[in-house]
Structure 1
Amino acid sequence: MNQSYMWANSSDSVDITTGTRINYWPQFGVLQYFEFAYIVSIIALGSLGNLVVIFSIILDKKVHSGGNIFIINLAIADFFICSITLPCIAVTIIKTKRVVDDIFCEVVGFIVTATCACSLCNLALIAANRYWAIVKSSCYRQMFSKRAGLCLAMSAWIWSIAITMPTVLGWGDIAYDAKSLICGWHDAASLSYAIFLIVIAVVLPLGTIIFSYYNIFREVRSSLQDVRSLGKRSISSQSSRSRSLTKERNLVYTLMTTVVVFFVCWTPYAAHALVNPSNVKPHVKKVLVWLALSNSCVNFIIYGVMNQAFKKRYKKLFNFIFQCGKCDQSASMQLGYASANS
């Protein structure tokens, strides 16, 4: 790591793009309380929300159906960001200085870079899964068998780690960014790596997503028109097929919304990384990075608001948790009563 990226153990931080010492905390005031509250809210909502997504699917025994393995994989990546990366920012805000050493910073920075790449890779896999389920349904079971799904889910992590590895080998860098208070990919270290990372980690998955959902919408619309054209010739068949297509369309809309929100959160940061990463003002950089990381807590909400299947899964999980709590409380009371009478 270059000396210009090093930092001092004081209230001052070092700007990784210029090597100059800067101080963002002349005094701990209202802004810092707001920043701390915001980050803690993202940590709590993102960590708990992604765990709810994971365990609600597992409890429903639907891990290997409907591309849920990739939704779980996405939730795991988002959980890592909320539980590993964001707590470091929260502590930094409170301490008003950098709190992690160089080695830990490189580990955390590598994790956040790889998990962000993995998130988009999983969004592409989800889109591809729905494409084969709806447009190429005859081949779906062969393409997305239980074993194939597991292999693809693991491949998403291998892929993400592989495209992040150049930062360890000298192409690009992982460093602490005093402007955004985060250890992560140093977006001003190498323009060539920035272009490589955005093309491989963003453009290619985005192309897959656009192609998949465009063809899915065409297929669903065409199928609904065919169902309506049946008229009264087969009412029961028409109703069943219509319900199936409506359910599939609702799921597609839900998943497509996660993609749109992802790009709303990440596009400003990606544009800044390509255009002018060195001269951006500290608070602007903080807003761009924190907006991007905030995406890790929203999928849980999108699933619950837009999709009936996930609403039922959430309800089932919460009922299971609270019923177990009541059973444990009842068992404890009975044990205490028995002990008192013995």
Structure 2
Amino acid sequence: MAWNRSVQYRKSGVSEITWNLTLHKITTLAISSMGTIINLVAIFVIVKGGLHRQRAFTFVLNLFIGNLLMCSVAFPLYSTPAFSPVPQDDINCPFSGYILFTLTGSTLLNLVLIAINRYVLIVRFTYYETIYRTRNTRIILAVAWLFYPIIYSLPLSELWGKFQFDQRRLFCSPLKTDDGFPYFVLIVSSITAFPSLTFCYIEIVRKIRSSNIRVNDTQSENTQRQKNERQLRRSVLVTISIFCGLNIPVIVVSIVDPKVEKLDPQFHFFFIYVGMLDYIVNTLIYSFLNQQIKSSFLNTFRWILKTNRTEPSRIRHAEIQEIS
């Protein structure tokens, strides 16, 4: 049966390893198709509603574009080895691996940019206009998109490291060499991502809590502002929880069992699929936990159905509501 089609590898001292290639193709392409549609819709809604003109939404739109590229380009490339009778290295391996890892790194940086943008807007608001001028914003986005392509050009050109086909995970990886490059990437990714995300969101929550204390003491803030702050706090907590829940398992499994010898390979693939879902879930989180994007979605939906031909109502600009 086609459903039972699998590939097997045998290594001395290690039990036989088997994957279901058909299941791998179906799962990868299903996530790819669903993610492509969801991110396209989200991008269309932001642009149609004019939200991309607001600086905070520029970074959200940038994240959605990165998610779209992951789902429409990187994931299909990841599925291609499963279409071969015996998945193996080929001439396209370095290029497919380069695209997969650079897009993964760039998308992670986009998450960091959103966190930093929110931090400056809420905690260091007096510096916001200075930091996020149009020219500065363009430079920040350019650096974010060029950072990992430059790093992974080293193993692509074999100046430092090398892309090698990982038969046990079915993708081309620069993290299998013993020349120090994998440790370099791990350190750089850890420094640029997790400390920044943790620091920014902790400070945001602390700022909101202190603001709520002042509100309760003075009774001077209006109800709408309090509602926006609660919504932002909920958005931050959900964002952190989902990000950790979807990404930490695959990172831990890769560190604990880098050669896929201790755990059943199905565990590795399961957590890889879970990590791939992050490029769909974080788009949904940033969309449905944001009142402005939700309003834009409803207006766009009415426009598509031609039940309401009026232009979307003008969005109010508020310090917290802009990104809550």
| Alignment TM-score > 0.5, same fold | yes
Q: Rate the CA distance shift 1:109–1:245 in 2: closer, same or farther, 3 A.
A: farther
Structure 1 residue runs without a partner (length 5+): 1-10, 26-30, 327-342
After the TM superposition, which of the residue ranges 191-200 and 43-52 deviates more from structure 2?
191-200
Partner of residue 79 from structure 1, selected from 59, 68, 74: 68
**How many Å separate the matches in 1 of 2:208 and 2:295?**
24
Tell me the residue number matched to 1:301.
Answer: 284
Count of aligned positions? 298
Q: Rate the CA distance shift 1:257–1:145 in 2: closer, same or farther, 3 A.
A: farther
Partner of residue 134 from structure 1, selected from 122, 125, 132: 122
Aligned-partner SS, 2:54: coil
**How many Å separate the matches in 1 of 2:186 and 2:21?**
32
**Which of 1 and 2 has greater Rg?**
1
Contact conserved, 2:40 with 2:68, CA < 8 A, in 1?
yes
**How many Å separate the matches in 2 of 1:113 and 1:305?**
28
Tell me the residue number matched to 1:116.
Answer: 104
**Matched ranges for 1:272-283 at <5 A:** 272-280=253-261, 281-283=264-266
Q: How far did residue 143 of structure 1 move?
A: 1.0
Q: How far did residue 207 of structure 1 move?
A: 0.8
What amino acid maps onto 2:297 in structure 1? Y
Q: How far did residue 256 of structure 1 move?
A: 4.8
After the TM superposition, which of the residue ranges 289-298 and 304-313 deviates more from structure 2?
304-313
1:187-233 CA deviation, whole Å, 9 max, x = no partner?
Answer: 322372222212211333211111111111111111122122223xx
Partner of residue 213 from structure 1, selected from 192, 201, 221: 201
Percent of aligned pairs with the same amino acid: 23
* Residue 41 of structure 2 is aligned to residue 58 of structure 1: no
**Matched ranges for 1:59-208 at <5 A:** 59-65=48-54, 67-93=56-82, 96-98=85-87, 101-102=90-91, 104-170=92-158, 171-183=160-172, 185-190=173-178, 192-208=180-196
* Residue 251 of structure 2 is aligned to residue 262 of structure 1: no
Partner of residue 244 from structure 1, selected from 219, 225, 228: 225
Contact conserved, 2:88 with 2:167, CA < 8 A, in 1?
no
**How many Å separate the matches in 2 of 1:305 and 1:279?**
37
Aligned-partner SS, 2:51: coil
* Residue 300 of structure 2 is aligned to residue 317 of structure 1: yes
**How many Å separate the matches in 1 of 2:41 and 2:237?**
20
TM-score by length of 2: 0.79
Q: Rate the CA distance shift 1:77–1:304 in 2: closer, same or farther, 3 A.
A: closer
Q: Rate the CA distance shift 1:276–1:253 in 2: closer, same or farther, 3 A.
A: same
1:177-196 CA deviation, whole Å, 9 max, x = no partner?
Answer: 3223233x243223722222
**How many Å separate the matches in 2 of 1:274 and 1:287?**
16
Contact conserved, 1:130 with 1:252, CA < 8 A, in 2?
no
* Residue 252 of structure 2 is aligned to residue 271 of structure 1: yes
What amino acid maps onto 2:37 in structure 1? L
**How many Å separate the matches in 2 of 1:53 and 1:253?**
21
Tell me the residue number matched to 2:272.
Answer: 289
**How many Å separate the matches in 2 of 1:109 and 1:35?**
18
Q: Rate the CA distance shift 1:252–1:74 in 2: closer, same or farther, 3 A.
A: farther
Contact conserved, 1:84 with 1:108, CA < 8 A, in 2?
no
